[in-house]
Amino acid sequence: MNNTTPSAWLVRFHRLGSPPSFYHFSGLIIPWVSAACLILIVAGLYGGLYLAPTDYQQGESYRIIYIHVPSAWMSMFVYVVLATSSAIGLIWRMKLAEAIARATAPIGATYTFIALITGSLWGKPMWGTWWVWDARLTSELILLFLYLGYIALVSAFDDRRTASRAGAVLALVGVVNLPIIHFSVEWWNTLHQGPTITKFDQPSIAISMLIPLLLTAAGFKLHFLVALLASVRAEILDGERRTAWVAELLARKKHA
């Protein structure tokens, strides 16, 4: 059989949506993605913490940017994944989408927590305060509560699928917070500064400082992928424990 025809690839891709294929596929790629993630983060941190020059205003304290900005970006990106997979689960009742939604929430909560903590540790020496109730900080805190609310709501149901549907509604309601976080520094006056890189004109950061930031940001993306795949794998095995393919998997493991 020729597996390289386009239609064969399409079939393969479509099969990824089924739990057993996803389980096998994720088991195969996790080590590779982890290695790439580690390389990107180590390179980014070496560049950011050691090679990058001192900032003219903030001295060495600005080096928190290399984890603060990637985690803040990821806190929002993961929510987009949560909301999208929730919508797919809600509309098409796709099991894998529901599993992905449930798996993303703790990861997104972690990034949001990191963004808030590192921001606080940065704000104390530079702004002069750990926390201020401005629009950016407050909306990011609301994002953390949305994630935690989702986790609590989903764990309150015994039935996995009912839980996913209830969580999906909450996740979709929370989508409104994403533009608020992003534009908060433009719509209102805040203590938090405006965007450096995601604004439309030229980024106002030296290239030698920007490159390590892009490296750690890419590393964080792959970190999310690893965490998501590992988590969905555990979810799938738990949810499908009574199916034939899991029995086959366990039997094969024993004889191997």
Q: Quick check: 94 binds another protein (CB under 8 A)?
A: no
For the CB of residue 17, give the shortest distance to another protein in the complex, in Å: 16
Q: Quick check: 31 binds another protein (CB under 8 A)?
A: no
For the CB of residue 206, give the shortest distance to another protein in the complex, in Å: 4
Q: Quick check: 104 binds another protein (CB under 8 A)?
A: no
d(CA 173, CA 236): 26
d(CA 235, CA 2): 33
When the beta carbons of 51 and 156 are compared against another protein, the nearer one is 51
Q: Which stretch binds another protein (CB under 8 A): 4-12, 84-92, 144-152, 155-163?
A: 84-92
Judged by CB under 8 A, the residue of 11, 35, 156, 247 near another protein is: 247
Q: Quick check: 100 binds another protein (CB under 8 A)?
A: no
Q: Quick check: 84 binds another protein (CB under 8 A)?
A: no
Structure tokens at 20: 């057993």
Handedness of CA 216, 222, 228, 230 (dihedral sign): negative
Q: Which stretch binds another protein (CB under 8 A): 6-14, 147-155, 156-164, 167-175?
A: 167-175
For the CB of residue 69, give the shortest distance to another protein in the complex, in Å: 10
Q: Quick check: 96 binds another protein (CB under 8 A)?
A: no
According to DSSP, the residues that pair with 55 across neighbouring strands are 59
d(CA 156, CA 13): 34
Judged by CB under 8 A, the residue of 126, 153, 166, 214 near another protein is: 126
- Residue 86's contacts (CB-CB under 8 Å, 6 or more residues apart) are 97, 101, 164, 167, 168, 171, 172
Q: Do the beta carbons of residue 101 and residue 92 sit within 8 Å?
A: no
When the beta carbons of 1 and 176 are compared against another protein, the nearer one is 176
Q: Quick check: 188 binds another protein (CB under 8 A)?
A: yes
Handedness of CA 208, 214, 217, 218 (dihedral sign): negative
d(CA 223, CA 202): 28
For the CB of residue 174, give the shortest distance to another protein in the complex, in Å: 9
Q: Of residues 50-79, which lie at the interface with another protein (CB under 8 A)? A: 50-65, 67-68, 71
Q: Quick check: 147 binds another protein (CB under 8 A)?
A: no
Q: Rounded to 10 degrees, what is the CA torsion of 221, 225, 231, 236?
A: 150
d(CA 119, CA 140): 11
